[in-house]
Amino acid sequence: MGLLTIGAFARASGLTPKALRLYDETGLLPPAAVDPESGYRLYEPAQLDRARLIARLRRIGMPLAEIRDVYRLEPAAAAEAIGAYWRRVTVDTAARGRLATLLVDDLSGRGSTMSNLAIRHAVRCETGTARDTNEDAAYAGGSLLAVADGMRGPGGAAASTAAIDALRPLELAGAPATELLTMLADAVAEADRTVREGATADHQPVTTLTAILRAGSRLALVHVGDTRAYLLRGGELVQLTQDHTYVRSLVDQGRLGLDEVAAHPQRTLLVRALGAGEHVEADLALRTGLAGDRYLLCSDGLSAYVERAALASALAEPGADPEQAAGRLVDLAYAAGAPDNIACVVADLVPAS
């Protein structure tokens, strides 16, 4: 059999001509030859096996970068890589499903939403075993919850404190639910300016920030960096924020597996932080709180060293109030070695008395 035209090769492989042109441009599946006069791509029949494998991997959503790696492996190793990829997809899909359920609940008003909710909270901020100073900061009040993790030298502690101090006036502002996001966004922009103004010729400190501002049952969430917000609802723990880190971007691009993040040498490298650039890019979201919700805001000194299942277990422990839950979380961090500083806020939404 002679060379196949791109149309014939597409029909035989299950790929479209458009996809074949893309795979040629990226070097994943170049043609065997290109007609010098017409410019048509021509393929060897022997290339069909590779093309069909690519088609099957694309149908399960595998990114091109991972497909290139899989194709270079021996069959047994390729099978293992595909299995690992699908396990990551399954975990990610389950997490997205939980978030979708929460979103449906928020938008439909399902559940026991009420405007007369109150917050019961606890705050812990502890120095890690490998640290001489603590650059973390945390705050909890009737309307505002916040954690921040400063870094880049001696100004880190001042940066995290300044970021939270910029949000504190919101506690007394009495923000209406319709203005929560606007007020929080403005306060974060002010926090970013304050942190940048604290830079010197020798040091440019930065800080992460994750905060919640509440009005009744409406909660505005802002997030920059790798501090995190979690929600425990109905016994299920859901991560509400996504880390703004280099390794998280690799995961999103399909270039790194979730199981490889903890061992990556650049796992703590941030791609977003207050004070890092001319303007801050923060994630903002508006939620509806339910009586019985328990929120956890924490620095990576907790989330990076305590497994998610252990976090969930500590937060869901029967009868444990926020103070007891926060204490248990700190104990878990120290049991894991606590090389980094630990900041956490545990807050329960309860009916106002």
Residues 96 and 123 in one domain: no
**Domain boundary pick from 59, 79, 96:** 59
Average pLDDT value for residue range 123-146: 93
Question: Under a CB-based contact definition with an 8 Å cutoff, are residues 156 and 209 in contact?
Answer: no
Average pLDDT value for residue range 142-152: 92
Average pLDDT score over the chain: 88
- Checking if the pLDDT of 114 tops 60, the result is no
Residues 196 and 276 in one domain: yes
- Checking if the pLDDT of 175 tops 50, the result is yes
Domain interval for residue 33:
4-59
- Checking if the pLDDT of 109 tops 60, the result is no
- Checking if the pLDDT of 322 tops 90, the result is yes
- Checking if the pLDDT of 45 tops 50, the result is yes
Burial tier of 61 (Cβ tally within 10 Å: 0-12, 13-18, 19+): exposed
Residues 87 and 55 in one domain: no
Measured CA to CA, the distance from residue 290 to residue 233 in angstroms comes to 9
| Chain mean position to CA 207 | 16
User: What is the domain-level CATH number for residue 283?
Assistant: 3.60.40.10
> Cβ of 339: how many Cβ atoms within 10 Å?
13
**Domain boundary pick from 40, 59, 78:** 59
User: What is the domain-level CATH number for residue 47?
Assistant: 1.10.1660.10
Side-chain half-sphere CA neighbours of 298 within 13 A: 28
pLDDT in tens, 207-246: 999 999 998 889 999 999 999 999 999 999 999 999 998 8
Measured CA to CA, the distance from residue 215 to residue 142 in angstroms comes to 10
Measured CA to CA, the distance from residue 77 to residue 71 in angstroms comes to 10
State the Cα angle at 152 between 150 and 155, rounded to 5°. 65
**Residue 53: per-residue pLDDT:** 93
Answering whether pTM is above 0.85, one says: no
Nearest alpha carbon to residue 261 among 311, 308, 314:
308
Residues 205 and 102 in one domain: no
**Residue 112: per-residue pLDDT:** 45
* CA distance to 9, 22, 117, 256, 257, per residue, from 62 (Å): 22, 15, 44, 12, 12
Residues 51 and 118 in one domain: no
